[in-house]
Amino acid sequence: MVIRARKGFAAVLALVGAWPTVVAARCDDVVPPAAAPVAKKRMVAADDILRLRDIGQPDGSMYNQPSPLAVSPDGRSLAFVINRADPETNTYCRALAIVALGGPWAPRVIDRGGEIINYPLMGRGMTIDAGFPQVITPAWSPDGRWIAYLRRDNGRTQVWRARADGGGAQMVTHLDNDAEAVAWSGETSRIVFAANPGMPGEREALEREGRQGWLYDARFSPMIGSRPMPAVLPRTIFSIAPDGSDMRPAEGSERLIPLSPRSGGSVLAMAQSGDGRSVSTRNRAGAGILTLEVVVAERDGRETVCRHEACSGRVTGAWWMPGSRDVVFLRREGWAKGEMGLYRWTPGSARPPVRVLQTRDVLLGCVMAPEGLVCTRENATRPRYVALVDPRTGSGRPIFDPNPEFASIELGKVERLTWKNDRGIEGRGDLVLPPGYQPGKPLATVIVTYRSNGFLRGGTGDEYPIHPLAAKGFAVLSLENLASVEGERPGLSDKQLFKEGQKDWAERRSQLSSQETAARLLIARGIADPARIGISGLSNGASSVRFALINSTMFAAASASTCCVDEQGVTTYAGIAVANDFTSTGYPAPGEDPGDFWKPYSFVENAARMDKPLLLQVSDEEMLLALPTMTALQAARKPVEMIVFPNEHHMKWQPIHRAAIYERNIDWFAFWLQGRVDPDPAKREQYRRWTLMRDGPIPSPYVRPPGETKVPG
């Protein structure tokens, strides 16, 4: 995949350096060797995290995504797509692989190639790419000889099929738009897929309209681009012969085949038994929006709802026990939902469900096979791997480890911390200490937000490499976001919950209280140096950074990956649709006198007293939102620096950018919190700027030329 800069971004490119020459990646190691050599242990590096082989959505907090795993019709094999970043070529290596569930567990690659697939986010009437990688679920043919899957080449996602015996792969569709999901029809032995056939016409209509000029309206999001965004259009389900012939709209039973939801949305669990019964999850009537319940439907439509407490809450999946009438389900539970419980339940029985497993490991994308539940599994110190869990006993074993090299990598000690904030809301986080840390020496500490589940990469957005920071001598606290101040209040929609939390910035104050409580725990234990605590984050985490710098004196340095929700950004640069959305959740409407509403949240209104060093590493699509803050802080001669990355989204997806972000964040916190400087000559200019910020005087790019005076007005 060759990445091309978009027109009009020459100035942005100059900010980040020359655009790299892209060559083909060497993808021989996209699947590890069957027997990786045992090496002497070495310290973890940022590159180790960047090059992790992934199966499914990399973020371990994405519980209700489609599964990346597909069990063969005979139950003996498992298919999945494996993905690995290659920063040298700024590409991703991808492979479709099969592993035998009964062993040996060395995967067999049946196709290689293709580009990373990001799913389009659809909301506020617009379709945008936010940089979230799409979960690709392979689909086995009914006879087990073929696997259908999505593959992207030359900027277009098509349906492909590959022979399960490794005999080759070929493209099935030749669409002028993207295929979005794929499955196989057991009745017709045809491939069923979803696509958006109206999108090419939508784009052509926008081009025609542009010849006379576009009317500025809610279709625009100026921060993303100076043209209307495509509308959200309904997708169509198609059916096609496996050889690519006879494509037509799906008919009859083909239309009932479940396909992955659009926009990577949440998947409510659904499984069919051999006798026609189904088990699923749904929102419990009259409960909070996140409270699900487990429901069994008989063939005649009669329902059995599990009324036991264990059957409700954050249920993430439900399945039928092989060879049994029992149901197995998985739920998040424990302190601040920091554990997962696997339960077995007999529908119609008065006995409560039996918990067979409780663990801090994260189990994602689980599918039922004859031998048991097959999931991806990970924890704070072990990257994701494929595992089998016995639903009768909860015992498990690994099936395939895509990152065996980590057995030779030394990580710091991880400790789960728990506390309550000033509102009594449960908080938790994972403390990572440097390898070999000796108690009694307070350390520079970095707080990473805003999810802490599974393997500790770099927080939400994966920009603050937790284990590599610890290897550089930091104590790192990875924080989990708190539950809403409104809790599971029945009858409130997610928007209403958000609106309630906006009153006097209640949600932000609750989060800040949790952050400060956690930091004080570390200070009291002699782990954190109170004068050297930094904070970081993307999106909601970046909002935590902003609120903390304005409303707390605890933090000595900060780095944020997005910026900023403030008056000018929301009302102007984000566009009409976003402004209306924010207004509906309690923000002042454009043109309305906001009074002091923004004072606790706006860098612009607090620029004069913002003296803590702030690094912003933002995408070109979100640069406009940061300009009011940058202008105010630079004009006030405050220690701030912004780096802009081209052709990026809310989540930065290019490997070369992610590598640069990792390295700069480590350098930034090392400089401000540890007083360390990397001697690399290539970084001399970086440290010249930072030293000037520290020692002063900080120049302002907005100083009036000598001899000129203000025009009277």
- Residues with catalytic function: 539, 622, 650
Torsion-angle region of 505 (φ positive above 0: left; ψ -120 to 50: alpha; else: beta):
left
What's the CA gap between 416 and 338, in Å, rounded? 9
Q: Exposure pattern of 409-430 as b/e (b: 16+ CB <10 Å)?
A: bebbebeebebebeeebbbbbb
Helical packing angle, 494-502 and 506-524, nearest 10°: 70
Nearest to 129 by CA among 581, 590, 648: 648
Question: Among candidates 173, 152, 340, which has minimal Cα distance to 248?
Answer: 173
Name the helix (H) or strand (E) containing 199. helix 199-210
DSSP classification of residue 455: S
DSSP state of 54: B
Q: Which two tokens stand for residue 634?
A: 């630079």
Q: How far apart are CA 31 and CA 50, in angstroms?
A: 16
Whole-angstrom CA distances from 501 to 59, 486, 538, 557, 585 are 26, 7, 20, 27, 9
DSSP type of residue 569: I
Would you state the structure tokens that stand for residue 643, as one six-digit string? Answer: 């780096």
**What's the rounded Cα separation, in Å, for the pair 344 and 392?**
8
Q: Rounded CA gap, 529 and 523, in Å?
A: 6
Rounded CA separation 332/701 (Å): 51
Looking at beta carbons, which pairs linking 279-287 to residues 24 or more positions away fall under 8 Å? 279/318, 279/319, 279/320, 279/327, 279/329, 280/318, 281/315, 281/317, 281/318, 281/329, 284/312, 286/490, 286/491, 287/312, 287/488, 287/490
Q: Is 327 exposed, middle or buried (0-12, 13-18, 19+ CB in 10 A)?
A: buried
- Which string of DSSP letters, residue by residue, matches 654-681? -HHHHHHHHHHHHHHHIIIII------G
